[in-house]
Amino acid sequence: MRDLIKMVVVLTVICACSALVLSFANQATREQREYQVLKYVKEPSIKAVLTGYDNDPIKDRVTLKMGTDKKGKPIRKNIFPAKKGGKVIALAYGSAATGYHGLIEVMVGIDINGKITGVSIMTHTETPGLGARVVEPAFTGQFKGLVLSDALKVKKDGGKIDSVSGATFSSRGVVTAVRQALESFSKIKKEVIS
Amino acid sequence: MSVAREFTKGLWDEIPPFRLVLGLCPTLAVTTAAQNGMGMGLATTFVLLGSNVLISLLRNVIPKKVRIAAYIVVIASFVVIVELSMQAYFYPLYKVLGIFIPLIVVNCIILGRAEAFASKNKLLPSIADGLGIGLGFTLSLTFLGAVRELIGAGTLFGRYVMWESFQPLSIMVKAPGAFVCLGLILCLMNWIGAMQKRRQG
């Protein structure tokens, strides 16, 4: 009987100590781990859409609560500000819309006046060789310098963006995602700068 | 045996993958490059050292019947610490090693040292044992990784070192190359061992 109690007590104490140490380790590394994931997953696209900044947009990121999802939980959105001499010159953030096949996630860089500084496709599941060609600079480069206006549409819809041939839906998806990003820009800008 | 002897035995006489032929899963899987082998080896060394220290200190407290469960909890805790810190500070290495970091828990070298050594010895010899075996494991993995990287890609620690017209034998960085390479090293080790024995008579 005494053996049994000793076994239970020793094992319980060891497990409890382990849990304590691990929760501490988890807490201590959380911020750094989040930073690393963003750095390796998002940094290439952030670098592609922002220019002329002298800060670390990932370190200076701002997390905003934007509306709620289907379960009523707030959606968190990371905003990456580009600063020069301590002043915000542009913002970069992700946006997503449906293409021909599934979601297309894009990173959009927008300067302080609402002009696009760059667009980069982060993830997509479009058809290889057709819709997948929206990632090419020949397509994404067209967005540079545009503002939220009728020009920001594919040519078929009366805008100025040349869609990738044979992939109107994919091109439209990207345009929609970029438009959504611009539509929420003034609200985001207010929150980030204040 | 002296403490120094406990340390040096892990470097040749009981060098884990080549002499004891233990811990082969990471040995074969992650040694596609010298750097990966070294990262895996160092992570394992940290876990081995930590578990040896704790188990040696707790050896009179842990009841015999639940010792394996207790060892596994201790080992798993150290593995999670390694995994979290690797993710936080060495993200590219963490990506490369992937599932093989959590799998350190079931690396039989670590449980083997806990059961066969740390649970029966004082703190100092246990530290020496953990460091020695860990270092032996790290050196083995780095060596195997270096050989495979050199023949398979012509690089060493990511730097190109072979002559210009060298044709890399890409099978060496794929799974079959691991088996071929390990087999040749084991053969060489046994041959050296046999030679030594013959010289001693």
Q: Give domain limits for chain B.
A: 3-200
Tell me the backbone φ, ψ of residue B73, rounded to 5 degrees: -60, -45
Closest residue, chain B, to A3 (C-alpha): B63
Average pLDDT score over chain A? 89
CB contact under 8 A, B85 and A29: yes
Q: Cα(B12)–Cα(A13) distance, rounded to whole angstroms?
A: 38
At B51, the amino acid letter reads S
With beta carbons under 8 A apart, name residues in chain A contacting B60.
none
With beta carbons under 8 A apart, name residues in chain B contacting A39.
91
Q: In the predicted model, what is the mean pLDDT of residues A21-48?
A: 90
Q: Is residue B154 packed enough to be buried (19+ CB in 10 Å), middle (13-18) or exposed (0-12)?
A: middle
The neighbour count for residue A101, using CB atoms within 10 Å, is 15
Helix, coil or strand: residue B75: helix
Mutate to test the interface with B, among A35, A36, A42 (most CBs of B within 10 A): A36
Single out the residue of A56, A89, A61 nearest to residue A77, CA to CA. Answer: A61
Helix, coil or strand: residue A77: strand
The neighbour count for residue A192, using CB atoms within 10 Å, is 17
A7, A26, A33 member nearest B65 (Cβ): A7
Q: In the predicted model, what is the mean pLDDT of residues A125-139?
A: 89
Domain segments of chain A: what residues?
A: 48-193
- CA distances for B180 relative to B36, B52, B171, B173, B174, angstroms: 19, 33, 10, 11, 10
Helix (H) or strand (E) holding B57: helix B34-57
Report ipTM (2 d.p.): 0.82
Would the pTM count as exceeding 0.95? no
Q: Which residues 34-63 on chain B approach chain A with CB closer than 8 angstroms?
A: 58, 61-63
pLDDT confidence tier of residue B14, bands split at 50, 70 and 90:
confident
Q: Are B28 and B182 in contact (CB under 8 A)?
A: yes
Runs of H (alpha helix) within chain A: 2-49, 137-140, 168-183, 185-193
Q: Cα(B89)–Cα(B101) distance, rounded to whole angstroms?
A: 15
pLDDT for B18: 87
Joined together, the tokens standing for residue A163 give: 């869609």
Q: Cα(B124)–Cα(A30) distance, rounded to whole angstroms?
A: 34
Q: In the predicted model, what is the mean pLDDT of residues B15-30?
A: 88
CB contact under 8 A, B87 and A3: no
> To 10 degrees, what angle do helices B34-57 and B123-153 make?
170
Q: Are A49 and A107 in contact (CB under 8 A)?
A: yes
pLDDT for B188: 92
pLDDT confidence tier of residue A40, bands split at 50, 70 and 90:
confident
- Cα A37 to the chain's mean position, in Å? 12
With beta carbons under 8 A apart, name residues in chain B contacting A15.
73
pLDDT confidence tier of residue A101, bands split at 50, 70 and 90:
confident
- CA distances for B140 relative to A152, B11, B116, angstroms: 59, 9, 21
Single out the residue of A33, A85, A79, A28 nearest to residue A57, CA to CA. Answer: A79
CB contact under 8 A, B81 and A21: yes
The DSSP-derived string for B173-187 is: GSHHHHHHHHHHHHH
At B3, the amino acid letter reads V
pLDDT digits (tens, 9 = 90+) for B107-131: 989 999 999 999 999 999 999 999 9
pLDDT digits (tens, 9 = 90+) for A74-99: 778 888 999 888 888 999 998 999 98
